[in-house]
Amino acid sequence: MWGHELTASNPIVLVHGSNGGGWVWKRVAPVLRAAGHDVYTPTLSGLADRRHLLASGIDLTTHVDDVANLLVYEDLSDVTLVGHSYAGMVISGVAATAPERLKRVVYLDAYVPDPGQSATDLWPEERRAYAERADPSGEGVARPPPLALFGLTDPGLVEWIEARMSPHPVATYAQPVPRGDARSAALERVFISCTANPATTPDVFGPFAEKARSSGWAVYEVAAGHLVMFTAPEELAQVLSEVAARG
């Protein structure tokens, strides 16, 4: 009885990328809720409001479990699971381990790994500098990148974001995603490409949009930079709502 009474309506789970937290969706989630979606914005272990867990040996499995456990404890099914940037790794892991809870997985300018690949396997050569910068002191964390890299120049917005970004556990980048089964392979997959990144920003995610197209996925484009949830939240929410409403 309880499960039927409390079942979420057209649920969307939004998973943030590196150095973020559930807070990154602050401008997007209200728009989706106003459109009739039940929206969940978990924070991955070791980050933001869960940064006190950073010294707990966190890896990709931890983050996959964070989201998979949310699906169970919130009694969610037919979920549209969205992962931004690094979280493409996380949602791929959730799709492999908990496909029965999902309706589709949505890669928002995100990594699209094959089974057995890690995030570092997918890094382009120009991103190797990030790997060197990520953990210079051996602390096991990646520091937030400069926001100017993503074309954010508004001083107030930059200050607000920088105050909330946190170090990211680098072990999550090295662990490969698990291999799923036939149910995982049958899930609908969608890619949302951010097409207005500055020319000086390495095109890390463009190749994954092309990979999605060649795989026959639906590919949507948003004329905004990689941090679209801050710069074009209503446009992003409109696309997400349209995707979640797909049959």
Q: Which residues are catalytic?
A: 85
Cα dist. 129→109, 140, 237 in Å? 20, 16, 33
User: Is there a contact between 63 and 88 (Cβ–Cβ < 8 Å)?
Assistant: no
C-alpha span between 194 and 206 (Å, rounded): 8
Which H/E stretch holds residue 132?
Answer: helix 128-134
User: What is the spatial distance between Cα 105 and Cα 225, in angstroms, rounded to a whole number?
Assistant: 21
Q: Tell which residue, 37, 90, 92, has the closest CA to residue 212.
A: 92
**What DSSP element (H or E) covers 121?**
helix 119-122
Looking at the chain, the number of H-run helices and the number of E-run strands are 12, 8
One-character DSSP codes across 24-35:
GGTTTHHHHHHT
